[in-house]
Structure 1
Amino acid sequence: MSELVAKRGAGVAPKQALFLVFRIGGERYALQAVEVAEVLPRLPLKPIAQAPHWVAGVFAYRGTVVPVIDVGALTFGLAAEARTSTRLVLVHYQPDATLPAQLLGLILEQATDTLRCHPAQFQPYGLDNRQAPYLGPVRKDAQGLLQWVRVADLLDAQVRALLFPSPPLDPSLLEDRA
């Protein structure tokens, strides 16, 4: 009986989360792993005309065309280097909880490590960076600062409308123009 009381009194350990760690230049960033659908090698992409420079293109994935952005180019204007550790990471993009999640590809450098920690270890860094709302709080560890990237905040309304038109384009309407 005393063993049961001791277990109850021990409390519940804080729930840890898994993060995929990547780099942009020399800086470390992390995505929460529950947002990641799949990690792929870097694949050839079809460019999208008149898209922002950080929209890397599209590719076909299991019968669906998936848009891809280069997170380094989005954040600092530096395209990801073609390294063996550069990955195409598919994430569940859902900017609004009332809409279904859609696949979005992210080109990420050195996306080969994971970290398990409590999300509360990430703390606000004191800046209101409205130009990059996807850059969330930071966590200090032995390697320096690690910044959380929030997938839902990656695209502004204009780019979201370009990559994920609502309602989706109807191919039959294109045939009528011919």
Structure 2
Amino acid sequence: MMQEQATVGTQRHKGQYLSFSLGADDYAADILRVQEIRGWEKVRTLPDSPDYVKGVLDLRGTIVPIIDLRVRFGNKQPEYSSTTVVIVLSIKVPDGRTHLVGAVVDAVSDVLDIDSSDLKPPPEIGGAVSKRYLDGMVSLPRGMVILLNLDKLFDPGELNSLYEKAGA
């Protein structure tokens, strides 16, 4: 939950983020964007989809595209285990609407309270995740956690194409 905290001479913001793992790396997403967390289950595949698009599922009448973030971030052969989950996220598109997207991750870790003053900008070097998808990074006792910008990570044009293929 975003809440403002006044400090001496400056304004700070504290937010809560759901952390999750993709392989050995820790990522996090704004907790207010998380709709639900589901165990991994088989989904309906879509023809002519990128390899990281696993398909769609029917979530109480809403068609939700399922994107395997592990594959999207470079793991070509992820394992599906008892800890593999789908995080259903609310994504904002430029016209003001929101879409639901399911993100497959290795495991959900915990909820982090992160102060905006602790955020560091992403480095200028390349990597598995383009820095345009990142809101920042934070160092914690357990290691570095990367905060994802969900609206940029899930490209609106790509989402619209997936919804059309699914007939939604």
Using the size of structure 1 for normalisation, the TM-score is: 0.77
Residue 56 of structure 2 corresponds to residue 84 of structure 1: no
Secondary structure of residue in 2 paired with 1:56: strand
RMSD (Å), alpha carbons: 2.8
Between the aligned residues of both structures, percent identity stands at: 20
Report the structure, 1 or 2, having the larger helix content: 1
The whole-number CA distance in structure 1 between the counterparts of 2:163 and 2:74 is: 24
Go from structure 1 to structure 2 and tell me whether the alpha carbon gap of 1:51 and 1:100 turns closer, same or farther (over 3 Å shift).
same
Q: Which residue is 2:41 aligned to?
A: 43
The answer to whether the 8 Å contact 1:53/1:73 transfers is yes
One of 35, 54, 57 as aligned partner of 1:56: 54
Cα deviation, 1:50-83, whole Å, max 9, x if unaligned, reads 1000001101111111111001111113354212
The whole-number CA distance in structure 1 between the counterparts of 2:56 and 2:13 is: 36
Report the structure, 1 or 2, having the larger strand content: 2
Runs of 4+ with >4 A deviation: 8-13, 128-131
One of 100, 108, 111 as aligned partner of 2:108: 111
Go from structure 1 to structure 2 and tell me whether the alpha carbon gap of 1:100 and 1:90 turns closer, same or farther (over 3 Å shift).
same
One of 64, 67, 72 as aligned partner of 2:65: 67
Using the size of structure 2 for normalisation, the TM-score is: 0.81
The answer to whether the 8 Å contact 1:22/1:111 transfers is yes
Aligned length: 160
| Structure 2: runs of 5 or more not aligned | 1-5
Q: Which residue is 1:151 aligned to?
A: 150
Secondary structure of residue in 1 paired with 2:123: coil
Q: Which has the larger radius of gyration?
A: 1
Secondary structure of residue in 1 paired with 2:106: strand
Secondary structure of residue in 2 paired with 1:30: strand
